[in-house]
Amino acid sequence: MPSVRELLPWADATTVTHDVVVERMRAVAKLVTSETTVRDVVVYQNRRLGSTKRSLIVVTGKVLAGIDLDRGTEVEVNHGDRSVVVTLPRAAVQGVEVTHLRTYNEQSGLWNPFRPADRDTIYQLARQQLISSAGELGVARHAEESARRLLESLISADGYTVKVVFGRQSALPDPRADAR
């Protein structure tokens, strides 16, 4: 005897279509030096017309932290004492990828059902929670230490001593200061 699927092939079909649209493409100079996997809990609650909807979500994602080299990178080389000072901007979150989003509890209100816009809001809240958790975990500090080790090992191979500084201050003494 034929199955329902064989008799009615259109009754249980899933179709996925997609169109790729490139919105913008640009050159970037980013040094990603830390990747952290973070898991956190997000509680969403919305009240409207005396009716409350709630959702409990566990989000897992990857937070990439590093240096945006387009924002104030300076290199000072002193060939006399074979030293290099690299001044970089502070590390920051460069990207967030939500890898898993799982809803454990969802309750719609009588006059306040869940809508697609709520799911979009939950996704954005989850993404922001990953960024916030990354800040609490010190991923920017870890990214700076990783960048420091990487650059020191790359540049010191030529016999130069290397100092990596974060921020806009110069680590080399002002040569005019000795003349005063």
In a domain, 23, yes or no: no
Residue 112 located in a structural domain: yes
Residue 79 within any structural domain of the chain: yes
**Contact indicator for 122, 105 with CB cutoff of 8 Å:** no
pLDDT tens by residue, 148-176 = 999 998 888 678 899 999 985 333 333 33
For the ranges 9-13, 65-69, 110-114, 119-123, the lowest mean pLDDT is seen at 9-13
Q: Please check whether residue 73 is in contact with residue 87, taking contact to mean a CB–CB distance below 8 angstroms.
A: yes
pTM above 0.75, yes or no: no
Task: Say whether pLDDT at 125 is over 50.
Answer: yes
Residue 39 is assigned to a structural domain of this protein = yes
Is residue 10 situated within a structural domain? no
Please count the CA atoms within 13 angstroms of the CA of 15 that sit on its side-chain side: 4
Reported as a single tens digit per residue, the pLDDT across 9-26 is: 656 667 777 777 776 777
Is 176 part of any domain? no
Q: How many domains does the chain have?
A: 1
Residue 8 inside a domain? The answer is: no
Instruction: Yes or no: say if 86 and 163 are a contact pair by the CB < 8 Å rule.
Output: yes
Q: Which domain holds residue 51?
A: 30-171
Residue 37, domain member (yes or no): yes
